Amino acid sequence: MLKLENLSVYYGGIHALRGIDIEVAEGKIITLIGANGAGKSTMLNSIVGLVKSATGKILWNGEDITGNDTKDIVSRGLALVPEGRHVFPNLTVEENLRLGAYARSDHAGIKADHDRCYDLFPRLKERARQHAGTMSGGEQQMLAVARGLMSSPKLLMLDEPSLGLAPLVSKMIFDIIREIHKDGTTVLLIEQNAHAALEIADYAYVLETGVITMQGTGAALLNDDGIRKAYLGEG
């Protein structure tokens, strides 16, 4: 479904991605783990056209979308829930959700996804008229995920959705990711919580300073000694 071929990104003199090759197969949950500064957010931002790549290709169902603008990419069915929430603080929950559907015009579909978001996140339904900026951190994270769903994505990309959340809320976000996936959405997940990410992932990549250094099934990486030491805090 999504393929990156030899993708490189520079920020001035910093070579943030150094020839990345990854593949996201339809219907799977794929995760990317890596230390702070490894280039994880850069990779997602370049997929949705927020960061320009210097070399390489981004292929979506075989079509080259490298360099396309973000609105075009979103309308093809890719959505990014960025790191650090980024909800619109002065708009209500409801208004934030509606903005998630800005690239769509299928009113019946928007209504169905809107209802589904409130089913998945009853807390948001209770708070529909509350300004997003006054919601708790966890609630804002729920809203960011729900807003991503409002674009009706075929591929939902999440950049550290559990960052800063209490364990119970974090678990709830992971449960919802499972549910979204069960409903037919492909997921590309970035997580500091490598253990939880590898547990739900079909396939995983390890990114170190801009290079993919390891890949395999979630289960294989969970059992790898090097991964356990470097990312799972064991040994």
Q: Which residue is nearest to Mg ion (CB)?
A: 41
Q: What does 221 interact with, of Mg ion, ligand ATP, none (CB < 5 to 8 A by kind)?
A: none
Give me the helices (H) in 2-101, please: 40-47, 70-75, 93-100
Angle at 41 between CA 38 and CA 14, to 5 degrees: 55
Q: Which is nearer to ligand ATP, 5 or 83 (CB)?
A: 83
- Binders of Mg ion among residues 88 to 107 (CB under 5 A) are none
**Interface segment toward ligand ATP; rule CB under 6 A; list 8-16, 117-125, 177-185, 220-228:** 8-16
- Binders of Mg ion among residues 49 to 68 (CB under 5 A) are none
Give Cα 65 distance to the centre of its chain.
18
DSSP 100-148: HTTT---HHHHHHHHHHHHHH-HHHHHTTTSBGGGS-HHHHHHHHHHHH
Which whole-number Å values give the CA distances from 138 to 100, 121, 122, 141, 163, in the listed order? 19, 11, 13, 5, 9
Q: What does 14 interact with, of Mg ion, ligand ATP, none (CB < 5 to 8 A by kind)?
A: ligand ATP
Applying CB under 6 A, what is the total number of residues that bind ligand ATP? 12
CA distance linking residue 72 with residue 69, whole number of Å: 5
- Find the shortest distance in angstroms from Cβ 41 to ligand ATP: 3
Q: Hunting for tokens 């070579």 — which residue is that? A: 15
- Find the shortest distance in angstroms from Cβ 46 to Mg ion: 12
- Binds ligand ATP by CB under 6 A, chosen from 2, 7, 42, 149: 42
Q: Which is nearer to ligand ATP, 41 or 186 (CB)?
A: 41
Q: Which residues bind ligand ATP (CB under 6 A)?
A: 11, 14, 16, 34, 36-42, 83
